[in-house]
Structure 1
Amino acid sequence: MHIPTPSLRGQSLWIRCIYVGAFISFIILTYFLFDNHSSGTAKYVIKSSTAYHAPPSPSANDTNAQWEFVVERDADNHGLSEEQCRIAFPKLYFEIDKSAAFRENNPITFKELDSIPIEDGMVRGMIHHGELYVIDFAKVTVTFTRGKASLYALHRALAAFPDRQNLPNIEFIYTTEDMSRGESPVWAYTKRDDEEGIWLMPDFGYWSWPEVSVGPYKDIRQRIAAIDDGGMTVNGKVVSGLKFKDKKKQLFWHGSVATNPELRGKLMDAASGKSWSSVKSINWGDPKDVEQSLLPMEDHCRYMFLAHTEGRSFSGRGKYLMNCRSVVISHSMIWREAHHAALVATGTDANYVEVDREFSDLDRKMGYLLDNPEVAERIANNAVKTLRDRYLTPAAEACYWRHLIRQYAAVSKFEPALYEKGSDGKEKMRGVPFESWVLNAS
C-alpha cells in the first residue's frame, strides 16, 4: 500500500503546532507552580483532592487471589503489598479511614499545616518520592526517643516497600506527647472519639521503649512467645511453653497509680483483699520496692489474667499484654489506639474482657472466668490468634503506616515541594534526609 508523504510545508506547520502547544502547557504549569505562594517561594503545589480508594478485590487470576497471611512467614514482613495488607488486616484501617472521611470535604491546606507551631516534642516531616525528610524537630528530653523511634519506624515501612517511589508525597506533623492538644491534622499516638481531626499513628513502642527496658518490639514478642509457646534455650535445653491451665490464677497489675489516681485507684480498691488479686502500686521513689515489684514484661504472661488501665491517656503496655496468651481485662477505654478496631469484647470471638470504668463488676467477672476456665482459655487463644499473630505484628504496623500516608495524601490539597529558594536566591532543600538527620540527632 502506498502511504503519501506529507509536504515540507505540511510538516513545518505540524511542528509549529507542537511547539505552540508545548509553550502554552509550560505557561500553565508555571502558573500553578508559583502563583499559589504569597511569599514567592515554592513550598507546595495546589492539587486536586481526590479520595483514595483501596484496590479492588483480587480476581481469580490475580496472584494474590490465593494468598493468605501466614504468621510464621509474614509476621515480620514490613514490605507486604497493598493488596496483601488489605487481605491480612481488614479491620486495621478503621481510624485512618474515619479521619479521611472527616476531611474529605474540607481538605488539608499548606496554610493550615504551616500555622501549627512545632514545639513540645512535635516533629514536622515530608515524604517525597518514597523518601523521608525531617523539616523540624522540637526536642523534649522526656519524649526524645519517642520522636526518633517513630521516624525510624516510618522510615522502615518506606524502605521495605518495593513500590515506595509511587507512594504519594505528603507533608505532616506529629506529636510525641501522651496526647495531642487537639490540633487538626496532627498525627498522634492516641485520641478520643470526639477528636475527629487527629490522625492515629502507631506508637513508639513498635520500634523500642528503652526507658522501661522493654527493648525492640520484635525481641519482646519473641520473649513473650517463648513463655507461651516454648522454644527458649536455658542451659543448653529447650524450654517448653507454659500451658494456660498452669499459669498463676491471679489478676496481675503492678504500676504507678499517680498517672491516673482516679481510675487506677478504683482498680486498687476493687482488687483489695481478693484471693485472685496480684494488684499493687509501685513506689518509683523507693528502689527496693521497684526491685521487688517490677516484673519483666514477658513475665506478665505467666499470669492467667492481666489488668490493663489507661494512664494520662493510653497505656503503652497494652499491646505487650495483648501479645500474651492470657486474658487481658480492661475497663471501657476512651483513648483509642491504632489496633483497637481489632478488639472484640463479647461473643465467641472475644479476645479480651471489658469491665466498667468504676471496676464495679470486676469481682463478678473474675469469679465467672475462674469458674469457667474453658471460657478464659478461649479468650486467651483468641488474643493470640487475632492480636499477637495478626493485628499486633510488625507487618501490620508497616501496612498501617503506608495506608496512613495514602489516606492523608488523598485529603491534602497541596503537593509539598522539597526545594525552596533561600534569601540568596539559590535553591535549598527544605528538609534533611532522615539517614543524615539521625546521625546528628542527640
Structure 2
Amino acid sequence: MLAQRPSFRFVAIGAVVSLFVLAFLVLGTSPRGLSSKFNIKTQSRPGPQTCVPPSNSTGWEFIVERDGNDHGLSEDQCRIAFPKLFAEIDKSSALKEDRRITYKELDSRAADDGMVRAIIDRGQLYIVDYAPMPVTASRARATLNSLHRALAAFPNRDNLPSIEFTFTTEDFAEDTQSASPIWAYSKRDLDTSVWLMPDFGYWAWPEVQIGPYHEVRRHIAAIDDGETTPDGNFTPGLEFQDKKKQLVWRGSLATNPPVRSKLLKSALGRSWASVRVIDWDDETDLRYNLLPIEDHCRYMFVAHTEGRSFSGRGKYLLNCRSVMVSHALEWREAHHAALVSSGPDANYVEVDREWSDLAKKIDYLIDNPEVAERIANNAVRTFRDRYLTPAAESCYWRQLIRQYAASCDFDPVLFSTGRDGRTHARATPYDTWILMH
C-alpha cells in the first residue's frame, strides 16, 4: 500500500490540473467570434476617459527629426508629444459618459453614398460594408490606408480594443440621426454624434493634384529650409522676409460662395493680394491659375477658407513658414485645438467671416514684419514639427480607437451563425478588400 501512494498522489494532482485547464477553456475563452448577438457586451470596458498626459518619468521627448515620421509611437509617447491633439476625442467621449453607444444605434445608420462600415479586431482591419461614390472614391481608400498604417506600425496592435464603426468620406456627416455614431473629417458643436478623424489628405489628394502627404511636407521643407541636391550641394531655403509680400489663395467659389466671395471682394485691387478663382473643369484655367500646394509657401501670407465644411488645404498651409490668415471657423478638424490666434504664441491670424478687417490686419503685418515672422515660426514649431506630423496622425487614429471603444457597450463580432447553422463571415479582411477596390 505504501508503494502505491505516490501513484495515487500523481493521479490526484493530474485531476486537479485538468479541472483548472477545463475551467480556463470554459470561462476564459470569449464567444465573440461565433456570437450573433451583436449588442451583447462580452468583456468589461472602462468608462470614457480624457487623455491626461502622463508624467514624463522616462525623460523621453519628441524630436521631429527622429520621431516625426514614426507611426508606431507608444501611447505614453503620443500623449507626451501631442498634449493638445486629443481634445476633440475627449469631447466626444464626455458626451457618452452617461449613456454608451449601443449596437442598435450604430446599426440604425445604413452605409450610404461614400460611407464605410468596418471592424477592428485585435488590431486587424476588416470591411463590413462600403457604398462607393465616384466623387469621393479615392477618399475611402486613402482614409483606410492611413488607418491601416497606424495599426500595422504599432508594436502592440493586438492589444488595441476591438470596435465596429462607420465613417463617411463626404465633407461632413448628416447629423439627422443624432444617436447614430459616425466618424467624419469635420464637425460643428451641434454635431454630437460625430467623432473626428484625420482627413484623407494625410495619404494623398489626387483630385486636386496633391500627392502623398510626406512628399508634400518634404517639398515645403525644401522651400523654407533648403535641401541638399543629388550632387551634394546645399540649396538654401527662402528666408521669410524674402517671400512675396502678398496674400495667396486659389480655389473655387462654388463650395462656399458666401465666405469665399467676400474674400475676393476684400482683396480686390489690393497690391498685397494674389487671389484667384479656379474652375476645376477648365483645363486652360488650371494650366494658368493652378498653384502647386507647396508653392503657396513662397508667399508671406496664405489665406484659408472653409468649403462645404472644412477645407483640406488648411493642414498644408500650416506646414508653411508663412502666416495663415483665416476667417473665424465653424467647422473643426482634429488638429484645431492647437490653433492660437493671439498673444506671443499666435500661430495664425483670424479675421471675421466677412473678411471686413482683412486689409487692416495685412497692412499691420506688412508694417511689422517681425510680428509676422514670429507667427510663421510659431506655425512651423506647432504644426509642421509637431501636430501635423505623420507620427501625430497615427497617434490620433489609435487614441480614437481606444476612446471610441470605451464609449461602446458592445463588442463587434466577425462571424455570425445563420439559420442553416453555418458560420458566416461578416467582414472582409482589409488586405483582401483593398485588392478588389
TM exceeding 0.5? yes
Counterpart residue number, 1:83 = 76
Distance 1:17 1:271, change over 3 A: same
1:220 to 213, 216, 222: 216
1:158 is matched with 151
Q: Which amino acid aligns with 1:151?
A: L
- 1:155 counterpart letter in structure 2: H
8 Å CA contact retained: 1:323, 1:392: yes
- CA shift, 1:24, in A, is 12
Deviation at 1:419, TM superposition (A): 1.5
Superimposed CA distance per residue, residues 211-257 of structure 1 (whole angstroms, 9 cap, x where no aligned partner): 11111000000001110001053898542100000000000011111
Paired residues for 1:405-420 under 5 Å: 405-420=401-416
2:132 matches 1:133: no
1:274-285 to 2 correspondences below 5 Å: 274-285=270-281
Q: Are the aligned partners of 1:421 and 1:427 in contact in 2 as well (CA < 8 Å)? A: yes
The question of whether the paired residues in 2 share the 8 Å contact of 1:344 and 1:351 is answered with: yes
Counterparts in 2 of 1:37-436, with a 5 A limit?
41-43=36-38, 45-46=40-41, 47-53=43-49, 54=51, 57-58=54-55, 60=57, 65-182=58-175, 183=177, 184-231=180-227, 233=229, 237-436=233-432
For residues 298 and 171 of structure 2, the distance between their equivalents in structure 1, rounded to whole angstroms, comes to 29
Give structure 1 stretches of 5+ with no counterpart. none
Separation in 2 of the partners of 1:388 and 1:21? 54
Residue range with higher mean Cα deviation, 421-430 or 87-96: 421-430
Query: Comparing 187-196 with 327-336, which one deviates more in the overlay?
Result: 187-196
1:312-364 deviations in Å (ceiling 9; x for gaps): 11001110011000000000000000000011101000000000001111011
Give per-residue Cα distances to partners, 1:72-115, cap 9 Å, x unaligned: 00000000000000000000000001001101211011111111
* Structure 1 residues 272 and 170: CA distance shift in structure 2, 3 A: same
Do the aligned partners of 1:42 and 1:419 also contact (CA within 8 Å) in 2? Answer: no
* Change in 2 beyond 3 A, CA 1:249/1:21: closer
Paired amino acid for 2:315: K
Aligned residues: 427
- Residues 284/19 of structure 1: CA separation in 2 closer, same or farther (3 Å cut): closer
Distance of aligned partners of 1:56 and 1:361 in 2 relative to their CA distance in 1, 3 Å threshold: closer
Question: What CA distance in whole angstroms lies between the structure 1 residues aligned with 2:23 and 2:64?
Answer: 55
5+ residue gaps, structure 2: none
Q: TM-score, structure 2 length as denominator?
A: 0.91
Distance 1:236 1:364, change over 3 A: same
Confirm or deny: 8 A CA contact 2:56 2:80 kept in the other structure: no
Residues 369-389 of structure 1 show CA distances to partners (whole Å, capped at 9, x for unaligned) of 001000000000000000011
RMSD over aligned CA atoms reads 2.7
Deviates more, 1:409-418 or 1:11-20: 11-20
CA contact (8 A) 1:42 1:421 kept: no
Greater Cα offset, 248-257 or 418-427:
418-427
Task: Summarize the Cα distance change of 1:24–1:126 in structure 2 as closer, same or farther, 3 Å threshold.
Answer: closer
1:431 deviation in Å? 0.9
Q: Whole-Å Cα distance in 1 between the matches of residues 120 and 72 of structure 2?
A: 17
Give the conservation status (yes or no) of the 8 Å contact 2:36–2:415: no
CA contact (8 A) 2:38 2:410 kept: no
Question: CA 1:413–1:298 in structure 2 vs 1: closer, same or farther (change >3 Å)?
Answer: same
Conservation of the 8 A alpha-carbon contact between 1:33 and 1:42: no
Q: Which amino acid aligns with 2:354?
A: E
Instruction: Compare 202-211 and 288-297 and name the one that shifted more.
Output: 288-297
Q: Relative to structure 1, is the Cα distance of residues 222 and 20 closer, same or farther in structure 2, using a 3 angstrom cutoff?
A: closer
SS in 2 for 1:113: helix
* 3-state SS of paired residue (1:288): helix
Distance 2:242 2:85 in 1: 33
Distance in 2 (CA, whole Å) between partners of 1:75 and 1:162 is 17
What TM-score do you get using the length of structure 1 for normalisation?
A: 0.90
Distance in structure 2 (CA, Å) of the matches to 1:17 and 1:338: 52
Deviates more, 1:110-119 or 1:279-288: 279-288
Structure 1 residues 427 and 285, CA, compared in 2 at 3 Å: closer, same or farther? closer
How far did 1:423 drift? 4.2
Secondary structure of 1:253's aligned partner: strand
**Whole-angstrom CA distance in 2 between matches of 1:246 and 1:50:** 54
Whether the 8 Å contact between 1:150 and 1:203 is mirrored in structure 2 is yes
d(CA) in 2 for partners of 1:55 and 1:307? 34
What secondary structure sits across from 1:171 in the alignment?
strand
